[in-house]
Amino acid sequence: MNDISRKQSARLFEKAQKYFPGGVNSPVRAFKSVYGTPLFIERGDGCFLWDADGNKFIDFCCSWGPLILGHNHPTVRGQVEDVLGKGMSFGAPTALENELAELILKNNKKIEKLRFVSSGTEAVMSAIRLARGYTGRDKIVKFDGCYHGHSDSMLVKAGSGLVTFGETSSAGVPKSFADETIVIPLHDKVALEEAFKQFPDEIAAVIIEGVPANNGLLIQDKEYIQYLREITQSYGSLLIFDEVITGFRLGFEGAAGYYGVSPDIITYGKIIGGGMPVGAYGASAAIMKNISPDGAVYQAGTLSGNPVAMAAGIGQLSELLRPGFYDELNAKTQAFVSAIEQYIQDKGYRVKVSFIGSLFWFAFTDKDIKKAEEIDPASMDFFKEFHRELLNRGIYLGPSGYEVGFISAAHTPEVLENAKRAIFESLDIVKP
């Protein structure tokens, strides 16, 4: 099969190189780890995307998660259109913020108060500061393989060994910052215990993605998540759930609701905005009262609670509250994945499709993977070929084998049938 035409995308990419580092405004978009020129997208509707060359795709990236209703959803668009004519930003409170907050807090009992911000990075950065301000401690435990946005203290990764201390994974992070971040492997109680034994009074918080979904889909055992809750409590540390991907996706109460745990602080992101830049962090009223102007932890934002973004959020979240929304979405995902798994099994391919809720991930291995270090980088060669074959058959997955796929309410059973066929054909070519 011939590769899709990328003439217009190539022309636009060449131009973009003049303006942006790597020609992009966020690194993964540059298609560095997959085949060919990045696709410049012209429009999206429902579960479909069209690029600048007129190629049409079934979209399983969904803007990296927020489009749980698909592109251009009439309710979301309608809400935005209603407020657009009234001005786009005031830097002052609006009733829309109250409305969206009420929608969230009435239906998500895991938090009592929240703050809207403009990105997941900001939500996490603020949550970390809040944890430090609240506990009076400096150290943060994070897990190898969890991404929490690009604030300094989160851009630290693990080396090998039981407990690894701050080694920056991005240039430009001062060592003194990185030293405050302890990175340990997922799914490892001993490493966690060691960290607490070593720094019993210094760990402000342990932060984990609700379901780690940025380095493959590393689904943790429920028992391990409960253990996290217990050990943080027993040492007077906070548990932060970063639900930028899982919040309002696994259910309205996200992974916290899914696992039945109550983290101390929860961060949310993109889904709230339905495609507009929104994030949020929330906690009990007692913890949130430490935020300025009530408390001494400063956090602010000119565009926080932006009326257009709030309107989009009201549209999107009210749709998610329709009875049966998540059951339907999750059942659809399960059926889709089960059929693919069956095909893989029949053919004897070395691929696993892990999934939870409406997230899925192709792992080119025959092992169950729970930790970042268990992913063989060589398996990404399969993904590169797979991605190319899928694009040629009109299937758009995010351009990295470490990223998960997303299914939206707009993916109809017929569309998923077509997608399955394309996936089977692509697997038959890649032969993992």
Residues tagged active-site: 147, 242, 270
Residue 55 or 214: the one with the smaller Cβ distance to ligand PMP is 214
- Contact range with ligand PMP by CB under 6 A, out of 38-46, 146-154, 159-167, 415-423: 146-154
Sheet of strand 405-406: strand arrangement: 352-356, 359-363, 405-406
Residue 149 binds ligand PMP, judged by CB under 6 A? yes
User: Which residues are within 8 A (CB) of 176 and not within 5 positions of it... i.e. 6 or more apart?
Assistant: none
Beta carbon of residue 150, minimum distance to ligand PMP (angstroms, whole number): 7
Q: 323-335 b/e with 16+ CB inside 10 Å = b? A: eebbeebbebbee
Which value, in Å, is the radius of gyration of the alpha carbons in the chain? 21
**Residues within window 13-72 making contact with ligand PMP, judged by CB under 6 A:** 64
**Minimum distance from residue 125 beta carbon to ligand PMP (Å):** 9
Letter for the amino acid at 227?
Y
Judging by DSSP bridges, how do beta strands 139-143 and 203-209 pair with one another? parallel
Q: How far apart are alpha carbons 395 and 307 in whole angstroms? A: 34
Residue (173 or 416) nearer to ligand PMP, CB = 173
Backbone φ and ψ for 391, nearest 5 degrees, come out as -60, -40
Candidate residues 9, 55, 79, 121; the one interacting with ligand PMP per rule CB under 6 A: 121
Looking at beta carbons only, is 281 or 383 nearer to ligand PMP? 281
- Candidate segments 4-12, 17-25, 120-128, 200-208, binder of ligand PMP by CB under 6 A: 120-128
- For residues 400 and 355, give the distance between their C-alpha atoms in angstroms, rounded to a whole number: 17
Interface with ligand PMP, residue 178, by CB under 6 A = no
31, 60, 116, 147: which one contacts ligand PMP (CB under 6 A)?
Answer: 147
Nearer to ligand PMP, 309 or 344 (CB): 309
User: Shortest gap between Cβ of 66 and ligand PMP (angstroms)?
Assistant: 9
304 contacts ligand PMP (rule: CB under 6 A): no
Pairwise CA distance, residues 44 & 399, whole Å: 17
Residue 128 binds ligand PMP (CB under 6 A): no
> Is residue 142 within the footprint of ligand PMP (CB under 6 A)?
no
Structure tokens at 2: 């011939």
Q: Measure the CA–CA gap between 343 and 419, rounded to whole angstroms.
A: 13
Give the shortest CB-151-to-ligand PMP separation in angstroms.
9
148 near ligand PMP, judged by CB under 6 A: yes
Among 424, 65, 14, residue whose Cα is nearest residue 278? 65
Tokens of 391: 């694009």
Told to check if 411 binds ligand PMP by CB under 6 A, we report: no
Amino acid at 259: Y
Q: How far is CA 360 from CA 64, 270, 335, 336, 338, in A?
A: 12, 18, 12, 10, 11
- Shortest distance in whole angstroms from residue 154 CB to ligand PMP: 8
- Residues in Cβ contact with 368 at an 8 Å cutoff, skipping those fewer than 6 apart: 352
Site for ligand PMP in 265-284 (CB under 6 A): 269-270, 279
Q: Which of residues 229-268 bind ligand PMP (CB under 6 A)?
A: 242, 244-245
Q: Which residues bind ligand PMP (CB under 6 A)?
A: 64, 119-121, 124, 147-149, 209, 214, 242, 244-245, 269-270, 279
